[in-house]
Amino acid sequence: MLRFTLRRLFQVVPTIIVVALLIFVIFSVVPGSFATSLFSDGKHAADPEVIARLNAEFGIDKPLADRFVDYVTNLAHFDLGTSFRTRLPVIDLIADRMGASLKLAVAAMVFAVLVGVPLGFLAALRPGSILDTVTMIGAVSGLSLPQFWLGLLLMYLFALQLNWLPSFGYGDGAFSNLVLPAVTLGVTPLALLARTTRAGVLDVLNADFIRTAHSKGMSETKVVRWHVASNALVLIVTTVGLQFGSLIGQAVVIEKLFAWPGIGSLLIDSVAVRDIPVVQGTILVIVLWFLLINTAVDLIYAAIDPRIKQE
Amino acid sequence: MRFGLNFWLGAALTALVVLAGVLAPWIAPFDPVLDADLMNSELPPDLTFWFGTDGQGRDVYSRILYGAQISLTVGIVSQVINSVIGVTLGMTAGFWGGWWDDLVNGLTNVMLAIPSLIFALAVMAVLGPGLPSLLIALGLTNWSWTCRIARSSTLSLKSQGYVQAAQTLGYADLRIMFTQILPNMMGPILVMATLGMGAAVLSEAALSFLGLGIQPPFPSWGSMLTDARQLIRIAPWVAVFPGLAIFLSVLGFNLLGDGLRDSLDPHMRTRKP
Amino acid sequence: MIAPLLDIRNLCLGVAAARSVHPLVKDLSFQIMPGEAYGLVGESGSGKSVTSLAVMGLLKKPLAVSGGEIKFKGENLLSLPKRAMRHLRGNRIAMIFQEPMTALNPLSTVGRQIAEMFVLHQGKGWNEASKLSVDALASVRVPNPDRRARNYPHQMSGGLRQRVMIAMALACNPDLLIADEPTTALDVTVQAEVLRLIKDLCKERGTAVLFISHDLGVIASVCQRVGVMYAGCLVEENDTRALFDDPRHDYTRGLLGALPRLGSRTQNNRQRLIDIDSIIADRSILTKTRFIAPRTLQEGRP
């Protein structure tokens, strides 16, 4: 198992390197620059001298090859550069906000799993029932909702009208601040989990070894407990892993909507002002997290299913 | 081929969106951009303004109708780009194998390692806001899944008798790919494209909401929701209708895609859902 | 007269489709005596497998019994409450299936799956049950049973997996073993071993066997009595030897005639496989006649 773990972790390295390079390539061609965006509100004329000076300060006027070498050497030292806007090291900016983002992502996923998986399970055990139909309609609706719209509506209902929850912000880290953003973010994974769990459990129920289990004289509950659950778990774990990717993407929007002080809102703000080092750094960190989560999912998968380790 | 409830429901909703977009110039009571009278701003729904007015005094109903044009354009064009890239890369990778296959696989893995919205964000940051950049960004985002499907379909179809026969007859590789292999994977590709339309519309909405997509005053449903956020306390209806429009159209595309998938997949046909 | 162990009377089975019921088994009657190996032979679609599922109570919608009785030790299984039926399943009536590759839970060790039988029906704890499952593996002639018990199904060959299935089925010493094409999916070389195993074990423990197959050769090697099914009806029944020596029904003759024979030649020194349809003139009249021969008693035991 250890060998398998190391092997999987190793596979992350080439991918992240390529992604880092890709990020550099993409952002080296950004038209305009941070300096010009400072003056882009149209109220002042952009003074070319000022812009030239700022560009020199930020190192944007250096030839591409030099910039590339700087970028790579910095990365090797885990230095993600310095923010144009705040002059602070990018890595510090990210580290400050990492905790908040993680909290949100984990809370959303936990919510999705705790509600979505049991629903999918029950729907599969009673196909064609009212619960099944309602769950399926709910699931496809959940997948079609624009998440930020749901967030707006929930905000309106629970915060502004009923005043049960704060409408935005991290506050002092209280749970009540986490509820609305986590639920909003968790709805789409919930819908997909309900659907895939249902399909997975149905597949398992139709499998031959379930017929064998019945022929041994097991009751329905025992069949589920001893044979269905573990086999369905494999599919559930895979789905959770797949979902994390789009969750992280959507989290960016939700963080902005609820003014949640995470990496996502940092990214949006930085894109708006073309603070390139921050944008590059945050995207790299986000991708790295995503890859690590995928690896973790693969490892859990291998721990559950003995057939995987053979490969 | 029998089509289930999913398909027909999805088709109906999609048709509704298409009609709204196509007929907008004739049935919209107001101009979505120009008819902006600040005297009429933030009015609740009534007989003149069926869905109320927004912060600039524009009729929400008309903007929603015209917004359908934007959503449909985004959905269709992005998926066409997606499919072309995905099918070309996947089919050639599966057919020729070797280093090209490795390269495509590596590229696909990298693409799959980047959450799609983040990638679209990055591209938008480079290209600047607006419809053309949006189409390119969304078109470049989700091709990896299509590529995977195209590749695995090609791998399994490659060993079919009629493909091998064509090869022995001396047909050029490209001709074989486009005449023998491509038609046989159209089903799954079509399903992916339909479902992808929904994803594209949702992504566009998110990007426009963040101010990075379609810029005001164009009536993208997503950007309408940006205004809605400011007005949520005084004019909540401004938030309801654009979101509802997005929801119903994406629901339509999703149901249509699901319905297509159910009819095309032989496994599904024998098993009851 | 000893009472039959399994007594099927006028069983009717069908598929509920749209508004009508499409019959799969029509008025089927046969008996199996305690300790007897009874073979049910017929082509695909003759209704033999669904009959066995009906006996086990494992019929899934839309299949359903529409008439008749299935008596096991005098009790009609069709009118038993679910709980009682579950108690019988695995315990007194056990079944092994055709595909050993997919019949076992891939995520659970073989030992644990056998141990389930002891936990379920004999109320043993898991520790004791694990030891018993090693014994069970030994009884089906699996080498290194304690090591094998910790294997997962994918680590075993088809033949070994089928032995595991047999071990599971016979774990609680059932009165009746139903074997539905147990060797069809196995290599020919392995087939003979598995058949011998079934024959020996059942003879040892006095377990009756309902052996279902389309393969007459397999039936001949295991069973004392044979029933021939066609289109849901039992068209002939006789002691094995008698059936082979003197088939009465056209269909039975067709089946026997279609057996490939080693060493036989026809024209041009080429052996031609005779298909059953060239032997039987008209299939539609096949179900009109029945030939059920009475059992020959041997030393007071049928």
Chain A residue nearest residue C102, CA to CA: A208
Q: What is the C-alpha to C-alpha distance for residues C63 and C80, in angstroms, rounded to an integer?
A: 18
Per-residue pLDDT of chain B (273 residues; tens, 9 = 90+): 567 888 888 999 999 999 988 888 888 888 777 777 777 777 777 777 788 777 777 888 888 888 899 999 999 999 999 999 999 999 888 888 889 998 998 889 888 888 888 889 888 888 878 888 899 999 998 899 899 989 988 888 888 777 788 878 877 877 877 887 888 888 889 999 999 999 999 999 999 988 888 887 788 888 888 888 878 777 778 888 889 999 999 999 999 998 888 887 765 433 333
The amino acid occupying position A49 is E
Contacts of A207 in chain C (CB under 8 A): 102
With a pLDDT cut of 90, the percent of chain C lying above it is 32
Structure confidence at residue B270 (pLDDT): 39
B113 vs A246: CB contact, 8 Å cut-off? no
- Is residue B267 within 8 angstroms of chain A, CB to CB? no
Q: What is the C-alpha to C-alpha distance for residues A261 and A294, in angstroms, rounded to an integer?
A: 25
B209 vs A148: CB contact, 8 Å cut-off? yes
Q: Which two tokens stand for residue B233?
A: 């306390």
Structure confidence at residue C90 (pLDDT): 86
Q: What is the C-alpha to C-alpha distance for residues B248 and B266, in angstroms, rounded to an integer?
A: 29
Contact A119, A127 (CB under 8 A): no
Structure confidence at residue A38 (pLDDT): 58
Report the residue from A27, A140, A271 with minimal CB separation from B255: A140
C120 vs A307: CB contact, 8 Å cut-off? no
A152 vs B254: CB contact, 8 Å cut-off? no
Structure confidence at residue C260 (pLDDT): 65
A286 vs B246: CB contact, 8 Å cut-off? no
Q: What is the C-alpha to C-alpha distance for residues B213 and C88, in angstroms, rounded to an integer?
A: 67
Residue ranges in chain A modelled with pLDDT below 70: 29-47, 50-51, 53-63, 171-173, 309-311
Structure confidence at residue B272 (pLDDT): 35
E-state strands within chain B: none
Q: Is the peptide bond before A118 cis (omega within 30 degrees of 0)?
A: no
Smallest Cα distance from C191 to chain A, Å: 21
Higher pLDDT, C239 or A7: C239
Contacts of C103 in chain A (CB under 8 A): 208-209, 211-212
Region class of A51: left (phi > 0), else alpha (psi between -120 and 50), else beta: alpha
- Is residue B232 within 8 angstroms of chain A, CB to CB? yes
Report the residue from A30, A153, A252 with minimal CB separation from B126: A30
Chain A residue nearest residue B129, CA to CA: A272
User: Residues 177 to 206 of B: which have CB under 8 A from any A CB?
Assistant: 198, 202, 205-206
pLDDT in tens, C85-96: 988 898 899 999
Report the residue from C89, C99, C108 with minimal CB separation from A216: C89
A–B interface: beta-carbon pairs under 8 A = 132
A214 vs C89: CB contact, 8 Å cut-off? yes
Structure confidence at residue C278 (pLDDT): 65
Pick from B203, B210, B240, B265 the residue to mutate for testing the A interface (most A CBs within 10 Å).
B210
Contacts of A105 in chain B (CB under 8 A): none
Contact C200, C139 (CB under 8 A): no
Contact C249, C42 (CB under 8 A): no
Exposure of B100 by Cβ count < 10 A (0-12 exposed, 13-18 middle, 19+ buried)? middle
CB atoms near residue A231 (< 10 Å): 22
Measured CA angle at A40 (ends A38, A44), to 5 deg: 90
pLDDT in tens, C155-196: 998 889 999 999 999 999 999 999 999 988 888 888 888 999
A30 vs B254: CB contact, 8 Å cut-off? no
Contact A309, A297 (CB under 8 A): no
Q: Which two tokens stand for residue B172?
A: 């050029």
pTM: 0.80
